[in-house]
Amino acid sequence: MDHDWTTQNIVVTGAASGLGRAICYRFAQLGAQVHGVDLNQATLDELQQSLGSGFSAVTCDISDWAQVATAFERFEAIDVLVNSAGITGQTNLKSPETEPADVERVFQVNFFGSYFTSKAVLPRMIARGYGRVLHIASIAGKDGNAGMLAYSASKAAVIGMTKVQGKEVAGTGVTVNALAPAVIQTPMVDAMPPEQVKYMTTKIPMGRCGSLDELVAMVEFIVSPACSFTTGFTFDLTGGRATY
């Protein structure tokens, strides 16, 4: 993509593993200044050693508004925010079998985490007249995955928030969009019950998981200056499962 990323400051949540880690690597390779936010200090330190001066580690619990407000104050100017932090919570359970505390925790990370971080960056983006916010949602938020009440409902909330925020910033030079992947091969997916992963994969017409390379390529486009006439939209990355 023909764009000079070396002028961009990019904040990525969930940076220590999975999608977030892959996104950090991509933008560091492109020469951007990447700020990785995560709870896992040890893994962030390892990422710092791998990526060097183009990466800065920020330890923060994104489910805690006070921590987010404090951590994000240190960023002078943020061009891009990618919210990729997420947890599945307990899976392969029918709704009546779920634990309220687990459902609440999943919402705290998946929905409130994205809400808090976007709340922290949007005013300054709007004031500067430029910004890109991308919430990583899920096909589960569109279709609902049986056995994944907390995850599906929290990602549906993220999609709803994206529609609201995207409309609110329209015309300001800022865009807010979401990305709804199907199953992407990550450590989070590897840790899920095999029957749950099989349930999700069999619904994909391409019959396979998506790759991290496919995901980061789409992320790169969505948060680029070139993607300037799309806001409030949830992009598809599902191998044909979702065609709406």
Choosing among 3.40.50.720, 3.40.50.150, 2.40.50.100, 3.40.309.10, the CATH entry for 5-237 is 3.40.50.720
Only one residue has tokens 């990785």, namely 36
Indicate the pTM of the whole model: 0.94
Residues recognised as catalytic: 151
Structure confidence by residue, pLDDT tens digits, 60-82 = 999 999 999 999 999 989 999 99
Backbone Cα Rg of the chain:
17
Interatomic CA distance for residues 159 and 36, integer angstroms: 23
Residue 204: pLDDT band by 50, 70, 90 thresholds? very high
Sequence letter at residue 42? A
Whether 243 shows a pLDDT value over 90: the answer reads no
Structure confidence by residue, pLDDT tens digits, 10-51 = 999 999 988 999 999 999 999 999 999 999 999 999 999 999
Interatomic CA distance for residues 221 and 126, integer angstroms: 20
Structure confidence by residue, pLDDT tens digits, 141-180 = 999 999 999 999 999 999 999 999 999 999 999 999 999 9
